Amino acid sequence: MAYRWRASAETAGIATLRCRGELASLSLLASGKERDADQITLTAFQHHLLRELHGTPYEPSFGLLEIKERPLVAIVNFLDPKDKSDQVVLALADRCFAAAYFRYQNLA
């Protein structure tokens, strides 16, 4: 597994989780502390999803920009690993990182 965090601001960012080189999930974390940073991150996340879903049978129709509740965690899974240990790590990685990140932001 490879987990990559890209902060778009001190209070928001996007994470990418890869399993054996394949994209497993994209996650967005928005703390709600900086409204403009949250919107910029949501827009970037939506554009990133559009690129990832281009040429697939999946319709990228969602309204992330309209979600007002904060803090916000949005996770989109792209992979269903066959290996049981990969399944467990994939199921927990994004949620554990979100919990740690929001604690760091003094929101937990």
Domain boundaries, the chain: 2-104
* pTM (2 d.p.): 0.88
pLDDT in tens, 74-104: 999 999 999 999 999 998 999 999 999 999 9
Stretch 3-32: mean pLDDT: 95
Phi-psi region of 28 (alpha: psi -120 to 50; beta: other; left: phi over 0): beta
Calpha distance 11→91 (Å, rounded):
24
Burial of 53 by CB count in 10 Å (0-12 exposed, 13-18 middle, 19+ buried)? middle
